[in-house]
Amino acid sequence: MNRCVQSMSRWLIPAFATACLATGALAQQGPPTFGVNVLNTPLAVTGSVTTSGSVSLAPGSSVSVINQAQNPVPVQDIREPFQARGIGSIGASTPATFPAVPAGKRLVIEHVSLRVNNGTTASPDTCALTNSDPLSGVDQIVPQPVGGNALNHIFGASVQTKFYVQTGQTPQIFCDFFGGASGDIEAFISG
């Protein structure tokens, strides 16, 4: 048995020394390195992502949300129906005026109807839908005769439109008649 231990020692010591030398050589080289490239390209994200705090994008960046037809992106309709009546007089001094658009809202006028009683036989020049911002533009409305008698003509109009009125602005309808006629305007807007 003593001979067996001596024989094993003869083989184990050189093998152990070789293993220690090989490990020491690897330790001197350091850990292995790998080439890493970082590209400035969008990162595709699938599944859900949780964030906290604020998220900002560089100017010109965009975000795309792509869902399958069986799992559409949830949306909420924030439109509120609106209808109002305004009373005024022919001429620029007293237009038919409607309530101002509340803070945080934008009014989209989609229909205008009006009745103009000019008290004479003068024919209408034009009516204009505008708002309190003189740079916003106007939408022209041309009333047509709808009734009256030989001394008193009534004109009316019913038109579809797409006219935008921003927060704090007041929708207005002005009517002018040839010959400076006077009379009343009654108008309705909805959107």
Residue 141 lies in a domain: yes
Q: Which of 47-51, 63-67, 92-96, 161-165 has the highest mean pLDDT?
A: 161-165
What mean pLDDT comes out for the span 91-101? 85
Residue 13 lies in a domain: no
DSSP symbols for the chain? -HHHHHHHHHHHHHHHHHHHHHHHHHHHH-S----------PPP--S-----S-----TT--------TTSPPP--------EEEEEEESSSSS-EE-PPPPTT--EEEEEEEEEEE-SSSPPEEEEEEEES-TTS--EEE--EEEEE-SS-EEEEEEEEEEEEE-TT--EEEEEEEGGG---EEEEEEE-
Query: In DSSP terms, which residues pair with 163 in a beta bridge?
Result: 109
The boundaries of the domain holding residue 169 are 83-190
Determine how many CB atoms are found less than 10 A away from the CB of residue 97.
Answer: 17
If one counts the domains in the chain, the total is 1
Residue 48 lies in a domain: no
Residue 73 lies in a domain: no
- In this prediction the pTM is 0.58
Residue 10 lies in a domain: no
Q: What tokens appear for 32 in the block?
A: 């292995």
Residue 145 lies in a domain: yes
Instruction: Please tell me the distance from the alpha carbon of residue 28 to that of residue 38, in angstroms, as a whole number.
Output: 29
Residue 15 lies in a domain: no
CATH code of residue 120: 2.60.120
Query: Does residue 168 surpass a pLDDT of 70?
Result: yes
**Listed range (4-8, 77-81, 155-159) with the worst mean pLDDT:** 4-8
Residue 16 lies in a domain: no
Output the pLDDT for position 16: 44
Output the pLDDT for position 99: 93
